Structure 1
């Protein structure tokens, strides 16, 4: 399995450089897409990229409407759901569109990687991948959602406390497991898809010239693209659900 260049290796601050770079790249792609979509807005006859972005916004608005308990909570989560949906869609697809692996001498010191790291990876260093195929990134997003939901719930501390103790001790246990399952579901699906794709790409040709794996690569790319899209939706709608469960406005239906 390839390894990744790191900063501050061997410390608690060890950082995957590829993940940081692809997070910024994903944000840049989303920003450019949105900027291009509004560059020539036509309120009467939307077309092209504007039409696609408006469809994504309407979809996220419908998603929020289905799970949020009040109009106030819908207004709060609507832009967050829209950006999360776009961000994860782009992030999940990055590793399917392109992967870059460079082979180094297994005995060299490369970007914070020790010779033992390179030897275990047979010298393969990954330089481009989906950021959501990294467990820390996926769990980080899930923890961010967890913090936002509890921060919103704490606007009504008495209702928030009653919510935590609704089914003791299972209510508290659920609050611990929710961010774990939320993040691990995203990570597991994206990581597994890219690992199998990498194995197919590295498989040797039959008789040194027959690309037997080509139809399997095409089929797996199509399936992984579907999974990447679905996981962007699943993560976003669960985010709306978790925030909605801790939105205790006067008109909530809790």
Structure 2
């Protein structure tokens, strides 16, 4: 998944980014509401982790900005505020969950997974496509019950395709979702990783189509479009 971490306290932000990056996710970091708006205008995120106290205004203002523009990305709020009224107000602004600082990183990861499942209308942490399964928590992939070893970026790419199955994904979007905003990586790297992933999941029911001039589309091999 791709995260936007909006947090002005450097050590807290670094800890969160390191934890989710190690778990196989891509994270962009914004230290202010203005930076967060800039990132949100440029990229599509799976989750926003949002601090309430930002140097240029309350995080709720950024949350309101997202919702007013119809951006439904799940938002998990972090704050030092303990009052119930603060929690209620934040949820009413459109937050999907709320954690009070200090917090446990393990619980944060679990809360994020729960928020994503609710947002996707799923009741499991496992994404499936026929005989292929991907566990979002353990990052483990199996094909017909057998382990399929993937690198961190191959895991990210597979997760993107599973979550967006049937949707055409442009190469540029995949580039930023795999490598993040701070990259000078060539778009040709996407072709490289798609090729590697295809070879590793060749025995699965998931197929990845190349739509020349448009991008890539993942679907079940049994789908009539997959043979086109």
TM-score range, shorter chain: under 0.3
Q: Which has the higher helix share?
A: 1
**Larger RCO, structures 1/2 (Cα 8 Å, 6+ apart):** 1
